[in-house]
Structure 1
Amino acid sequence: MLHRKANAGFTLIEVLIAMTLLGIMVVLLFSSMKICADSWQKGEDKITEVNDVAVVYQFFQHHLSTAKPLWDDFSEENKVFAFRGKSQELQFVSAFPASAKKSGLQLFSLKLINDGDGQLIQVSITPFYPVAEGEEWRKEEITLLRHVRNFSFSYFGLDESQPEGLWQDDWLEKETPPRLVKIKIGRDDGSFWPEMIVELKAVGLSNNLLTDEGQAAAEAAAIEGEQ
């Protein structure tokens, strides 16, 4: 007598259990991937933020700290001191390092502008000395930092009412550069940016005119900025 072989297979209950377990595993897998992606993005954002701080800090340390106390006296009708500072704008003369392709003194102009996607700090660089006849006046515009909420300068130097020196919101109609420049930057994401205080190395007569109290105040302000 022949016996028919029973068909092997899964019951409906077993299929439902398997599908449920598979669904749970897929959810756990994608959750883990999302956590890893978020952690990676946060790490990338932190690296970008650190790089932004380093780039801005290096810019001011390399260029602003070596600003030259020069006069723009190429025209007798418009003789002004090259260093001019406002609360959100700054102009000074400095030079690129020897390794850079640009040579000679350059006029740096910084200001906060709106490009439609938000505010950014723009740097304009032009040769300080007039170009020879027939040559092109080369102006270069560089974005120093994007996504800026607020940006301001203040200047430490002598004042007629305060011989020991004090912080001022602008530096106009002066004949010497300030001793210190303080830079405050706020980002759109609310990230913390410490105040930067840059000491100008070539301050001309201002070093000799500062009283002992002013010298001590300047040194204290500079130390505060380094901390």
Structure 2
Amino acid sequence: MRILQGARGFTLIEVMLAILLLAVLLAAAFGGIRSAVKGMHFGEDLMDRTNRLRVAQEFIRHQVSRILPLPFGQETGTGENLLFEGKRDLMRFVAPMPGYLSNGGAYVQTLELSNTRNGRQLLFNHWMLNGFDKDKLNKGDSEPVVLMDQVESGKFEYRKLDDQGELEDWSDDWDEPNLTPVMVRIELKMRKEALVGWPDMEIPLMLDVGAARQSNTVRFDDILPREGMAVPPNNASGSTR
């Protein structure tokens, strides 16, 4: 009589090895998917930061190059017109705003490097020239726009012509507020988290510098408001027409 023997099954060790191999394959697959997703997010962040940098530089170049020799105030004591305020971390000037961002006309505009917990930020703000009073500015009156963040350090520099018409060296302190500079330079060093670097900007003004020198004949009080606008306060006491 022949006895049929049952088929031999897997041993416990073989089952455990198969499960271990399957776990390794699944871990490798999930690791690959995670790396792909992480790489995709990094690429999207890099593209977003690059586009933001490009838009910020184009906007700054457009505004600074179109600075107008229009006064936004007067110096205390001397009564001289304030056409341009330039410091290492702030510049203030008058220029037209793009039509899609305003109602047209001249606006007082500022670029500023401001300190935050996550580094410095490049901020932009603007106010209508009519009725503008530098001494009455409040931070809550207008919310600045963050052009760039994750800035480690930076500075604004300015250049002018000497008496012989030659370009002088760059300076981070503009000492002739009744004149406009010939060129403006913006240097920023970005933090590692920013993912992008800031190419230094050297922006020549489209306006002839001679016009800025002649603009001293136009006083701040003589700028007439547009129809429907409030009349700016008379800061020069006792001035005559």
TM-score of the superposition, structure 2-length normalised?
A: 0.71
| Equivalent residue runs for 1:105-184 within 5 Å | 105-130=106-131, 139-160=142-163, 163-166=165-168, 167-184=170-187
Q: Which amino acid aligns with 2:54?
A: A
Q: Distance in 1 between matches of 2:173 and 2:183?
A: 12
1:53 aligned to 2:53?
A: yes
What value does the CA root-mean-square deviation take over the aligned residues?
Answer: 3.1
Give unpaired runs (5+ residues) of structure 2. 133-137, 214-241
Partner residue of 2:40?
40
- Distance change (3 Å), C-alpha of 1:117 and 1:75: closer
Question: In the TM superposition, what is the alpha-carbon distance from 1:143 to its structure 2 partner?
Answer: 1.3
Partner residue of 2:199?
194
Structure ranking higher on relative contact order (CA contacts 8 Å, 6+ apart) = 2
Partners of 1:181 and 1:197 within 8 A in 2: yes
Q: Distance in 2 between matches of 1:107 and 1:206?
A: 18
Q: How many residues align?
A: 203
Deviations 1:65-120 (A, max 9, x none): 11111123579965432211111111111112233343321111121112333321
Q: Which amino acid aligns with 2:166?
A: E
Partners of 1:177 and 1:203 within 8 A in 2: no
Q: Distance in 2 between matches of 1:200 and 1:65?
A: 4
Q: Distance in 1 between matches of 2:211 and 2:159?
A: 11
Q: Distance in 1 between matches of 2:212 and 2:115?
A: 37
- Distance change (3 Å), C-alpha of 1:40 and 1:28: same
Identity of aligned residues (%): 27
* 1:87 counterpart SS class: coil
| Equivalent residue runs for 1:201-212 within 5 Å | 201-205=206-210
Give unpaired runs (5+ residues) of structure 1. 132-136, 209-227
* 2:160 counterpart SS class: strand
Q: Distance in 1 between matches of 2:209 and 2:161?
A: 13
